[in-house]
Amino acid sequence: MVGLGLYMLRKERVLSAAGKQARTELEGAHARANLERQAKTEAVWGSGPARYAMAAAALYGSYYFAFEDRSDKNSDWLSVGLLILAMVLARELGLWVLGIGVLCLVGWAVFAGLAALPLSAAVILGAIIIALAVSKR
């Protein structure tokens, strides 16, 4: 009774040599199982076809919630989330799409800025552009 009380008081577990060996073997088995699981996951998701198929499905879902199904007030956020998921899944293509989107945004800003100029400033700016183009010949 006293020994049990002291064990509960200290809360210390002392394993025998066989117990230590069994624990080591069990931890090794868990580590091997985790490595095998990670290798299988990487084999599936590391390959392009699986990721690109999921990205295509996410893009269709984004289109559907953005244009077809407007019944939910959160469909805009769901559409944006699916678009980001598609870009994450198609990593390589996502960077190209993001770069092209930034270039289009810059082009739109330049043309919108030119369109907002008063007519006299636009004529002067156009004359400068034409003069620069002619002088380089």
The answer to whether the CB of 90 falls within 8 A of the CB of 52 is yes
Q: What is the pLDDT of residues 96-107, one digit of tens each?
A: 888 898 999 999
DSSP symbols for 89-116 = HTHHHHHHHHHHHHHHHHHHHHHHHHHH
113, part of any domain = yes
Q: Which domain holds residue 56?
A: 48-89
5, part of any domain = no
59 & 40 share domain = no
1, part of any domain = no
Q: Is the pLDDT of residue 64 over 80?
A: yes
Q: CA of 45: how far to CAs of 59, 61, 119, in Å?
A: 18, 20, 56
133, part of any domain = yes
What token pair was written down for 44? Answer: 């599936």
Would you tell me how many other CB atoms lie within 10 Å of the CB of residue 116?
Answer: 9
114 & 85 share domain = no
Task: Give residue 10's pLDDT band: very low, low, confident or very high (50, 70, 90).
Answer: low
| pTM reported for the whole predicted model | 0.48
65 & 82 share domain = yes
Residue recorded with tokens 């678009």: 83
63 & 80 share domain = yes
**How far apart (Å, rounded) are the C-alpha atoms in residues 124 and 132?**
12
96 & 132 share domain = yes
54 & 84 share domain = yes
135 & 96 share domain = yes
Q: What is the pLDDT of residues 70-103, one digit of tens each?
A: 777 778 888 999 999 998 888 878 788 888 989 9
85 & 96 share domain = no
Three-state SS at 93: helix
The number of distinct structural domains making up the chain is 3
Helices (H), 46-90: 48-63, 75-89
**How far apart (Å, rounded) are the C-alpha atoms in residues 119 and 125?**
10
